[in-house]
Structures are given as structure tokens and as C-alpha cells.
Structure 1
Amino acid sequence: MIKQQIPVLPLRDIVVFPHMVAPLFVGRQPSVKALNNVMTKDKKILLITQKNSEVDSPKPENLYKCGTLAKVLQLLKLPDGTIKVLVEGFERVRILSIEDSGDFLRASYSILSVKEKNTANIMALAKIIKDQFESYQKINKKISIDLVNNIKTYNDFNKLADVVIANLNINLPQKQKLLETKSLESRLDKIYGYLVSEIDALQVEKKIKGRVKRQMEKTQKEYYLNEQMKAIQKELGDSEDIDDITEIESKLKEVKLSPEALDKCKSELKKLKNMSPMSAEATVIRNYLDWVLSIP
């Protein structure tokens, strides 16, 4: 069914879905006028995402062909003339035509209705998406446990799709594509794929961060122990040995050694730093390093 024209609010860098509440900051004059217009009526407005967020004065051709019918929940005018508005999406729509009324854009639309039976495939996809979203929440603390518990109760699988998509960390074109996809089964299938990819990416990221943290802790520990060793050697009157090690380090930077030889020397020097200068092994290592550095 074709609906009459209503004001359009072009969006930058965000796709709003049904059942999603989003705060928006509005500063462009046509958008401000569109909001002022709907506030005097039923507060319904069409949210349509721009294809290119850098376009400051979007024309009909700069907007996607599907959007979301939303209601303004709250509007606050800020001192600098911009508006902070809270909107809630409630219906996916296909845009039929967009016209410039002079003050702001208006569009006619039809509801993007989905009349699919809950087939075995849809039921199965919905179940695994609920399970995967719970796993996703465990490694992405930005997702609240309350949202996970709410999703578990959803029997409306279109609502399930909209809410999960809104909370996925995927790019804007991917979200827009899911907004436009009419088939419920296709939407659920794509959502499941994105969920699996997101979980894999977050797990890899967690492993990398853990490895880097352990390496940093190891480096800090070695530095602390080396400083302690230097302090102990100084107290014992072994400052000459410290000077010897410093001299060897300086020479290693100056001589031209093969990568393998340089790595070996650094490894031996590291051992030397942690040894008592009076030990037999320390003498052997020092003699070895002196010999390597004396080679022309």
C-alpha cells in the first residue's frame, strides 16, 4: 500500500532499523525544518541513509531506495542551533519517490512487508542466531546481558533480525543491504554469517592482546631484574664489570656482524648481565665476546 508523502531526515554514517532507538544530532537546516514540521503533527519521519556521508545537501539521487519509518520520541534544541533528537524505528519501507518541497525533502513509500511462514530453515536459523548472539555478548562487553535475555524471548523473527543487525559491528553498506533484503530466510542466513565472522575476529583480537600483554610484562620484568643486578653489582664494588658490559654493547653496535652472529652475541651478552662476574661461565662468555669483537 502506497502511503502519502512525509518529511525525510537524511542520515550520515548510520542505518536505523525497526525496534532501534537512536540519538541523532541534527544541524542542517532542511533537516531541522523537517523535524519541526513533524513535531506539529504525528511525529512520524522517514529516516533514509545517504550513499555518501560527505554530501552536505543531499538530493533524492544521493539517498538509498529503502529506509525506516520512525517516530520522534524526544527533541531538544541546543544553544548552537542544532537539535538532539531521539528516534525509534518501527517499519522498513521502500521509497517510491522523493521530492524537494523547498524547505525539506518529502517521500512517498510502501511498507516492505514480509509474509513468510516460519519454515524449518527459518526456525533453525533463528535458534542458532540466538545461541551465537549469546556467545558474541560474552566476548563483546558492549552488548548487555539484558539484551541477550530479551532476544531469547523473541518469536517474531523479523524483530530478531532487526535487533541483532543493529548491534553488529559491520559496515554501513552491509547494514543497508540487510535493511533492503526482503526475504526473512536470506536476512537470517546473512546475519548468522556476520555473527560467526565477528566472533572469530574478536577471539583473534583477544589472543593478540593477551600475547602482547605477556610480552610487555616479560620485558618489564627483565628490565627490573637487570636494574636490580646492576644495583647489587655496584654495592659489591663490581662497577668495572658494568662498565665492561656497557663497552661490549657499544662495540656490538659498531662492528659489522652477520645477523646470525649479532643475535648470538646479544644472547650471550644477555646471559652475562644476569651472572655473577666472578663465575667461571661469566669469564668464558666475556672471553668469547672479546674474541668475536676482535675479529677484523
Structure 2
Amino acid sequence: MGWPQPSPFPLFDEFEFEDAGPSEEAGGILEGPLLPLRDLVFFPRMVSPLVVGRDRSIEAVEVALERDEPLIAVAQRDPEVDEVEPEDLYEFGTDVIIGRMLRMPDGSLSILAQGRRRVQIVEYIHTEPYIRVRAIPIVESAERTRLTEALMRATLALFEKVVQLNRSMPEDLYVFALNVHEPGWLADLIAQSLSLDTSQRQEVLEALDPATRLQRISVLLAKELDVLELEDQIHSRVQQELDRAQREHFLREQMKAIQTELGETDAFTREVNELRERLAKADLPDEVRAQAEKELERLAAMPPMAPEVGIIRTYLDWILELPWKEETEDNLDLKHVAEVLESNHYGLPKAKERILEYIAVKKLAPDKMRSPILCFVGPPGTGKTSLGRSVAKALGRNFVRVSLGGVRDEAEIRGHRRTYIGAMPGRIIQTMRRAKTINPVFMLDEVDKLGLDFRGDPAAALLEVLDPEQNFAFSDHYLEVPYDLSKVFFITTANTLDPVPPALRDRMEVIEFPSYIEEEKMEIARRFLIPRQIEEHGLAEHPPHFTDAALRRIIREYTYEAGVRNLEREIASICRKAARRLAEGKRPLRQVTAQMLPKLLGPPRFLR
């Protein structure tokens, strides 16, 4: 059974409410049926339509009309209770008059009732077939004292502000309140108008003294006014934001119209047109072009401030900046390649021989030769990475390098899907973008340092990259179109093959880099290390000369390694001291002998 919101205005003009039964004297006892109300507190002089649906309630209304008895309306403590008992009802209620009753098709009653006066229930006579009670009517004084006059003025001032701020209250409500001269009636009118819960309205109903009632109403009005003022501030800020947004939209539309008349376009349209021109000029495979055009049409149909605009724009930039068919022409002059390799590296005959064999076969059968996938395995400092640079220089190709040390996520190789915020292609595609050609020398450094965890196995993702049977259509999660890696010259490096999975090892041609012997280290120092350090330290005009005995002693007593990195560091240390002597204006260091090493490098670190 639902209860409509009561009206605070008396409706004597529309209906003629007759007195309910004989008039009782002050302090007399009323006896009559009781009507329990859900979520509603009925106040004296207030008119409200009621829908009566429960059987006992219907019986109570019919008995009140049939016997011309007063109907006592009392609020329930818990509106969810259907079978109401005396303990479920409040002690105070209102004696009401029924002005009109209609029987509805579903059996319920629709009545129009008006409250007469407060009553206090003193006895429950019976609860079946309806609840019947005895109650004492409360006679309220209408006298206005100085206290009640002050309370009425303060209450009306607060009520005026509430009516102004509350959009659901009609302005006539305040005018009606101004014409109420009884303090108790004014408090009841305002209590019925505010959005209060049942317990708060019941407290007002149970306040029998008009002054006390007005004080409670003033407190409730002050709380309501605070909430309404905050709500009004929020609404004002929201309205300002909406007005600003509408103004900006209107100005943008005006700008578009002006630019259209002038033959110009806005920034977003210019950007889309620029992408369309770049896409038309780009030399792309058919499948890639179809995907790019589809994304471009989506971008053109979106509003400029849509969140997906940046995602699609970045994707199209990747598509357009990747090399799809651009490649460099290989230098197939075997003599030139051999000279470049020999000028940059001493020794390493097996690796140099394999490079020359590849160039020879490519020269004879350029369309049938697959790009080799080499794996340089050897101790640190033996020239694996630098040999890759020399190979690129000898062939005339671009050189790119990716370090795989510590990579644990498969997405580092294959990329992230575009559904994720900040998604990017994998390292393979990112490096190909830097290479700017589809046939660079691509070095995958430290392939034996790949990790493995719950995010996937990057070594397994490399199987497709390094397999000539599959890498012509490499699948990156971000691009979602195949990318051709078949023309890339892959070189991987490792210090040891033990951590490399067998399936990945099977796809690579392993070339061992042995440790350098003493004579090879001396030759490398003479040819490469000493000239490079002299140039880097600005000693070209006064280069120090390293004797064979000095180099041999550095190798034996100051380094202990398979490669030449520490040897170069010791030579660099001596060159720094020589550079300091020159900077201080002292005599340049002309010659480095074995006897000078303890002074230059300190005591020997290794004794053999």
C-alpha cells in the first residue's frame, strides 16, 4: 500500500468536510477505528489523498463512514510490517475526516482525508477485524506570545530561503505560510512541506507545545538550508561548466564555418588530411594498406576529443613510419668486404670466412639465398658485437642492436594489444622502425640472458623471429598485420649456449669465438686499442710509445681475461696520465716501458 505525498494546503474550497461525530469536550475520550500509515505522518489541518489496500485498514475506513465515527491515523514504526500490532505503532496520531471515498477495481479504496487535531492513544480495544482504539484529543493553544512571535518570524525567514532554493517547492507555499497566524499550525505546515523522514516528522507531531515545535522546525530548516546552499553551489558550478562547454562548442562551430568559407580547415581535419596524403604516398602491402585505411576512416568519423583518437593516431604513425619495402643495396664486392673485416678485427677467421661465403652465394643466387641467422658465442670482450657492426659496414646495410639481457615479458618481443592503455609494439618492430630498411643487420645481444616468469617466455617468442620458415609474416600484437623479417640479417650473441633453449639453438648457426692468446692481444693492442685511445685522449701530437715488454707485462700482470676489454682500460689509464702531464705543461710521456708500469698502474694484480 503506497501513500501519496500530502498537500500542505487545506482543500476546503473543493470538498465539504463535515464534523466527525459528536463534539467532545477538552480532555474527553475519542473512540474509533485506527488507520495505520506507512511512511506518512498526518498533521492537523493537512489534506492528503490516501490509498487503502490492507483488509483491516479497508474495514476501519468503512466502519468510520458507516458509524460516523472519527478515524485515527497513526504512523507505523516500520513501514515493511504488513500485519500491524499495537507495538508497531507510535503513541501519537491525528484524528482525520474522510471527505471522499472511491472504490478501485482492485478492491482498494482511494480516500481524501483532512487532519483535525492531535490525539494520544490510551487503549487498544481490539485488533480484529480492524484495530479499534481509545484516544485523548490534544487541545492546542493558539495564543501568540513574544517568544512564539519571535520564533515564527525566525522560522518564516528560514523557510523563505528554503523555498527559494528548493526547486520542488512552489513559491505560493511561502505566501500561504505568511497567512498562517497560529504558531502550531505554522510548524505543522512547514514540517509537512520539508523532505523529512518518518521519525523526524513524528517528533514534530509529538511536540505538543507550539514554541517547542517551532524550535525543532527551526533546527530542521537550518540543516535543510545548509544542504540546499551546498547543492545550489554545486549546481551553479556545473551550470557554469555546461555554459562554458556550450559556448566553446558554439565558437568551434563558428570557427569551422568561417574556415570553410575561407577554404581552411581546423587542426583535427588538417591532421586527418595529412595522414590521408601520407597514406596515399606510402608504399605499403595491400593487406597493410586496407587496415590503415580502415583505421583512418574510423579516425575521421570520430569527434576530436574522443579518447580513441590518440590511440588510432599513434597506430597510424607506426604503420606509416615502419619500413615495408625500403631496402639498401648490398655491396657484394668480396675483396672490399674482406678488407673492411680485416681492418676492423684481428683474427676470427671462422666468422670472417662465413660472412664471405654468404656474400659469394648471394652474388651468384641473389633471389634464392636466405638471410643467415648466426650466433656468436664466446667470452666477454672477444669482439662479438663489434664484428656485427663491421659486417653491416662491409655489406653497406644499416646496423641496429637490441639487448635482451633481463627481458622476462613475452610482450617485450611481440608487443601489447591495443586494448591496453599505453600499448606499444614489441622491441623487434620498434628496432625495425629505427633501422628504416627491411634488410638491416639486426643484432640480438645477450640472447643467453633471457628470463622466464608468469608473463610468458620471451625465448619462445623469438622462435618465430629467427625461423626463416615463419619470419616472412611475423605477427606483432600491436600491429595486427604480418611484417616481413625474412630479409633481415640476424646475428645473436651469447657468452655460453647452456641457458639457450634447444629449439632456439636449433634455429641458429653457432660460430665459436675462442679466447685470445697473448700474441693476438699484443697485435690487437698495436692495431686497434692504442691508436683509438691516443685519439680519444688528444695525444695525436705527442703519442706515447708502448714497448713490447710493457704490453706483455700489462697482459700478464694487470689483466686476466679471455678478451681485451681490461687491456684497453689499462691502456686508457696510461693515456689519461699522459694527457694530464701535457695539460699541466710538463714534458710529454714519450715511451711506456715495463719498468714504468708500477708507477703508472700500481703494483701488479696477477702473478704468474
TM normalised by structure 2 equals 0.39
Which of 38, 50, 71 lines up with 1:45 in the alignment?
71
**Residues 5 and 252 of structure 1, relative CA distance in 2, 3 Å threshold:** closer
Task: Decide which structure has greater helix share.
Answer: 1
Equivalent residue number for residue 234 of structure 1: 272
Tell me, yes or no, if the aligned pair for 1:69 and 1:93 is still in contact at 8 Å: yes
Map 1:65-214 onto structure 2 (within 5 A).
65-115=91-141, 117-214=143-240
SS in 1 for 2:42: coil
Letter in 2 for 1:190: R
Q: Aligned partners of 2:171 and 2:243: how far apart in 1?
A: 32
Deviation, structure 1 residue 116? 7.4
Report the count of equivalent residues.
Answer: 254
Q: Aligned partners of 1:219 and 1:28: how far apart in 2?
A: 53
Equivalent residue number for residue 314 of structure 2: 247
Tell me, yes or no, if the aligned pair for 2:124 and 2:133 is still in contact at 8 Å: yes
Deviation, structure 1 residue 42? 2.7
Q: Aligned partners of 1:115 and 1:219: how far apart in 2?
A: 57
Q: Aligned partners of 2:160 and 2:30: how far apart in 1?
A: 41
Q: Which deviates further from its counterpart, 239-248 or 194-203?
A: 239-248
Tell me, yes or no, if the aligned pair for 1:22 and 1:86 is still in contact at 8 Å: yes
Equivalent residue number for residue 565 of structure 2: none
CA RMSD of aligned residues (A): 3.0
For the pair 1:24 / 2:50, whether they are aligned, the reply is yes
Identity, % of aligned positions: 27
Tell me, yes or no, if the aligned pair for 1:31 and 1:104 is still in contact at 8 Å: yes
Tell me, yes or no, if the aligned pair for 2:30 and 2:136 is still in contact at 8 Å: no
- Measured against aligned partners, the alpha-carbon deviations of 1:140-197 in whole angstroms (never above 9, x if no partner) come to 2332232221211222111111111110111110100110012211110110111121
**Residues 70 and 247 of structure 1, relative CA distance in 2, 3 Å threshold:** same
Task: Decide which structure has greater strand share.
Answer: 1
- Measured against aligned partners, the alpha-carbon deviations of 1:58-111 in whole angstroms (never above 9, x if no partner) come to 011110000000001111110011111111111011111123252100111112
* CA radius of gyration, larger in: 2
Deviation, structure 1 residue 232? 4.1
Q: Which deviates further from its counterpart, 147-156 or 220-229?
A: 220-229
Letter in 2 for 1:111: P
SS in 2 for 1:72: strand
Q: Which deviates further from its counterpart, 113-122 or 223-232?
A: 223-232
Equivalent residue number for residue 259 of structure 1: none
**Residues 74 and 229 of structure 1, relative CA distance in 2, 3 Å threshold:** farther
**Residues 2 and 39 of structure 1, relative CA distance in 2, 3 Å threshold:** same
**Residues 172 and 181 of structure 1, relative CA distance in 2, 3 Å threshold:** same
Letter in 2 for 1:19: R
- 5+ unaligned residues in a row in structure 1: which ranges? 256-296
Which of 81, 89, 96 lines up with 1:63 in the alignment?
89
**Residues 253 and 213 of structure 1, relative CA distance in 2, 3 Å threshold:** farther
Q: Aligned partners of 1:148 and 1:219: how far apart in 2?
A: 36
Q: Aligned partners of 2:150 and 2:60: how far apart in 1?
A: 43
Tell me, yes or no, if the aligned pair for 2:32 and 2:69 is still in contact at 8 Å: no
Letter in 1 for 2:71: I
Tell me, yes or no, if the aligned pair for 1:161 and 1:191 is still in contact at 8 Å: yes
SS in 1 for 2:132: strand
The answer to which structure, 1 or 2, has the higher relative contact order (CA under 8 A, 6+ apart) is: 1
Equivalent residue number for residue 290 of structure 1: none
- Measured against aligned partners, the alpha-carbon deviations of 1:225-246 in whole angstroms (never above 9, x if no partner) come to 59953224435x3555999952
Q: Aligned partners of 2:136 and 2:421: how far apart in 1?
A: 76
- Measured against aligned partners, the alpha-carbon deviations of 1:203-225 in whole angstroms (never above 9, x if no partner) come to 21122233234445656777895
Deviation, structure 1 residue 41? 3.2
For the pair 1:11 / 2:21, whether they are aligned, the reply is no
Letter in 2 for 1:253: G
Letter in 2 for 1:75: M
Letter in 1 for 2:64: V
Equivalent residue number for residue 269 of structure 1: none
**Residues 252 and 31 of structure 1, relative CA distance in 2, 3 Å threshold:** closer
